[in-house]
Amino acid sequence: MTQRCLVEPDVDFVKQIVGLGGETLKKCFQCATCSVVCPISPDNKPFPRKEMMAASWGLKDRLVKNGDIWLCHQCGDCSTLCPRGARPGDVLSAVRSYAISEYALSKRIGEAVNNPKKLHILLGIPTALFAVLAFITVFCGGTMSSIFHAIGLEWSHGGHDGVIAHADFISTWFVDLVFVPLALWVIINFLLGLKRFIVDIHENAVLEGKTDKEDLNIKKMIQALIKVIPAILRHDKFSQCSENKDREISHMMVLYSFIGLFVVTNIFFFVLYVFHIPGPYSQLNPVKWLANISGIFLVIGGGLMIKSRLSKTDQTTVYKDWYLLGLVLGLGITGLLSEMTRMAGLAGVTYGVYLIHLVLVFNLFAFLPYSKLAHVVYRTVALTYAEYGNRK
């Protein structure tokens, strides 16, 4: 006997998907061309046809809790070959943006990140914060130095005499007191979101018959993750796309630049607080080589991404895309400029650029669970679950 199901459309959900870049959703007439031409869609319960149907009906739970929306890499093949111009790739991108806000701790922050009218707030808060910290560092340095000396600590970590150091403008202590708790907040945010996310995609997979494994085996999930990571680092899925294959290089450059900068930051953090060796560090230091190369890759990769977006006039690009692309390119440019102007002896210029750099880093970290960049975490987990469920 056919199973009966009560459908309760969520009209508000459909409107939000349209607002996030899925305005072509209603053009879909379920021909299934998208699922047929997609080079990375699994044979078992392929996407994105079923997701387009669920989105048209406003079935929020069936979409937000669906791991398949994250398997899509928005390569564009389905959108190019769609006979109705429904752009399934853009619709799934909009659904992912909605899902990111759903799994993050505060929906209000998610709404602000995706709202261009709130950008001045996202930039203004960290700007005011770091401006105050700069004022304290520059004009109250003597008092702070005495306080830190009394408790057996060095105050500014400002480097060597006669050398311009960014720590003389904003103390390293202040920078770390901002970003260490911020990093912990981001980790907690993701952990709580992923706990719900994994449970949801497993329940959805069981409901739709994508897996016959009733109980989730964490040990096997970890084993699947180990198998998936090399494929992510090689960008195997991107290499299968044809329409937007050029994105593979730019995405790899940005990915590896972030990995490189993450390694550099942790090494210098360890050197500073364990060996008590403050910067600036010599340009002959291999870690500085990694930092500079990563910064160059970030600028080139970000530039190529923007060029690709501008050239793809048939691809929907909305504010959430430009916000992330602007952050990526801005981080690379200000990071390199702050270093070059410091070495050139332009104290006022380098301090100003450094302030802008810190504001952009703050935006990247604080709003990571709410921006499009969160797909790095959710897509990795979804690909891991697909491997775990043997969905080829």
* pLDDT by 10-residue block (mean), the chain, 392 residues: 65 90 91 91 88 91 91 88 92 93 89 92 96 90 68 62 84 92 95 94 83 80 94 86 80 95 95 86 93 97 92 81 95 96 94 97 94 94 91 73
Dihedral, CA of residue 95, residue 383, residue 179 and residue 306, to nearest 10: -60
Whole-angstrom distance, CA of residue 30 vs CA of residue 237? 25
Q: What span, in angstroms and rounded, lies between the C-alpha atoms of 314 and 148?
A: 58
Same domain, 148 and 27: no
CATH number at residue 25: 1.10.1060.10
Of the candidates 370, 297, 304, 385, the one whose C-alpha atom is nearest the C-alpha of residue 335 is 297
Tokens of 29: 């007439």
pLDDT score at 126: 97
Longest CA–CA separation in the chain, Å: 84
Closest CA to 295 of 323, 342, 329: 329
Q: What are the phi and psi torsion angles at 285 (to 5°)?
A: -70, 125
Q: Is 35 a member of any domain?
A: yes
Same domain for 115 and 94: no
pLDDT for position 1 = 47
In a domain, 96, yes or no: yes
Residue 174 lies in a domain: yes
pLDDT for 44: 81
Q: Tell which phi-psi region holds residue 44, choosing left (phi > 0), alpha (psi between -120 and 50) or beta.
A: beta
Torsion over CA: 120, 123, 126, 131 (sign):
negative
Take residue 84 and report the two structure tokens written for it.
Answer: 């109705």
* Shared domain check, 337 and 217: yes
Question: Do 121 and 96 belong together in one domain?
Answer: no
Instruction: Sort residue 9 into left (φ over 0), alpha (ψ -120 to 50) or beta.
Output: beta
**pLDDT at residue number 244:** 73
Pick the closest to residue 78 from 306, 320, 206, 241 (CA basis): 241
Count of domains observed in the chain: 2
User: Is 3 within the bounds of a domain?
Assistant: no
Question: Do residue 115 and residue 254 come from a single domain?
Answer: yes
Question: Which domain covers residue 230, as residue numbers?
Answer: 111-388
* Residue 4: inside a domain: no
User: How deeply is 269 buried, as exposed, middle or buried, from its count of CB atoms within 10 A (0-12, 13-18, 19+)?
Assistant: middle
User: What pLDDT score does 150 carry?
Assistant: 66
Residue 221 C-alpha from the chain's centroid: 22
**Tell me, what's the pLDDT at 155?**
62
